Amino acid sequence: MNIYEQYLRGPMMPHIWCSGCGNGIVLKALLRAIHRLNVSRDDLCMVSGIGCSSRLPGYVDFNTLHTTHGRALAFATGLKLARPHMTVVVISGDGDALAIGGNHFIHAARRNIDLTLILFNNFIYGMTGGQCSPTTPLERLATTAPYGQIEPPFDVCRLAEAAGATYVARGTAYHASQLDRLIEGGIRSRGFSVIEVLVPCPTIYGRRNRLGDGVAMLKWQKENAVEVRAARKLDPNELEGKVVTGVLFTAQRPEYCQEYERMMARVQGKGERGL
């Protein structure tokens, strides 16, 4: 049995993802990272919201929660506080995590709660109808931007860093082996980790914007990604239109569950009433 089969829920196959979609590549990278980390499947929980990528937890044999649109981080926060020993991985898309769930995103980062968010960025709402999302680039077409997007997109990683995340990385579906290292690092890091992954959505985003099929979209990633150490040697003009990948930011800061436990021990130790 290969390493993927031992973690997949066979009866849930076939999956719903389109031919050429990047989600399966990220799923395999995630399974390789978990396999290397040797986390017991009983001690790992995957939580997702709504969207194409958010179907992922249904396909894997861990503790899994498929929750409501935008609320994966809120469910995961409650789970982590109740079971702080568990490794909690949150699967979310760009619309799910940054529009509907944008408040949960910034506050999970501010708290520095020990969750690992894998943010599948396909630049659009794929499953729910092709609407523009907070990462749709300027001028790109969407069902809700038929003449081109005029709202500037979020830079996911800069937003995560500014809000307080302590491990921030970006990868692409094309750079699959780099991706499992980025995910592994995020799970190891004790605090809020964000791994943004650029994934091709040839069916909804690619077709509407004439970007070609899944292979063409992966080729674009191959040609336009610049690893962060190489990027530091380039000037801003040379980086125009490029995607900087790798671990972009790390920091050490108190983690929320530890702080909560410390506070409760202090309050209970003094005989004070709990909150």
Contacts of 237 (CB under 8 A, 6+ apart): none
| Polymer length in residues for the chain | 275
Cβ nearer to ligand SF4, comparing 153 with 214: 214
CB under 5 to 8 A by kind: which of ligand SF4, Mg ion, none does 94 bind?
A: Mg ion
Binding mask 71-110 for ligand SF4 (x = CB under 6 A): ----------------------------------------
Q: Which of residues 116-155 bind Mg ion (CB under 5 A)?
A: 122
Q: Do the Cβ atoms of 166 and 153 come closer than 8 Å?
A: no
Q: What's the token pair of residue 107?
A: 């506050």
CB under 5 to 8 A by kind: which of ligand SF4, Mg ion, none does 23 bind?
A: ligand SF4
Q: Which of 171, 185, 191, 202 binds ligand SF4 (CB under 6 A)?
A: 202
CA distance 132 to 151: 9
Q: What's the token pair of residue 91?
A: 């699967």
Residue 127 binds to ligand SF4 (criterion: CB under 6 A): yes
Residue 204 binds to ligand SF4 (criterion: CB under 6 A): yes
Amino acid code (one letter) for 149? Q
Burial of 168 (0-12, 13-18, 19+ CB in 10 A): buried
Write down the least CB distance from residue 93 to Mg ion, Å.
4
Q: What's the token pair of residue 102?
A: 């944008």
CA 35 from chain centre, in angstroms, equals 18
Residue 184 binds to Mg ion (criterion: CB under 5 A): no
Residue 25 binds to ligand SF4 (criterion: CB under 6 A): no
Residue 49 binds to ligand SF4 (criterion: CB under 6 A): no
**Interacting residue ranges for ligand SF4, rule: CB under 6 A:** 17-18, 21, 23, 52, 122, 126-127, 201-204
